[in-house]
Chain A
Amino acid sequence: DAKTTQPPSMDCAEGRAANLPCNHSTISGNEYVYWYRQIHSQGPQYIIHGLKNNETNEMASLIITEDRKSSTLILPHATLRDTAVYYCIVGRSDYKLSFGAGTTVTVRA
Chain B
Amino acid sequence: DSGVTQTPKHLITATGQRVTLRCSPRSGDLSVYWYQQSLDQGLQFLIQYYNGEERAKGNILERFSAQQFPDLHSELNLSSLELGDSALYFCASSVGPDTLQFFGPGTRLTVL
- A binding-site residues for B, Cβ under 8 Å: 34, 36, 41-46, 49, 87, 92-101
Contact = CB atoms under 8 A, between A and B. Distances in A.
Interface residues of B, number: 25
A44 B103 contact: yes
Contacts, number: 49
Given A93-B99, A96-B58, A101-B42, A44 B90 contact: yes
B101 interface: yes
B104 A43 contact: yes
A41 B88 contact: yes
Among A34, A36, A43: residue with most chain B CB under 10 A: A43
Contact of A46 (B42, B45, B101): B101
| Chain B contact residues: helix, strand, loop or mixed | strand
Contacts of B102: 46
Nearest to B58: A96
Nearest to A44: B103
A34 B102 CA distance: 12
B42 A43 contact: no
B72 interface: no
Given A46-B100, A97-B45, A99-B42, A41 B56 contact: no
A96 B106 contact: no
Contacts of B103: 36, 43-46
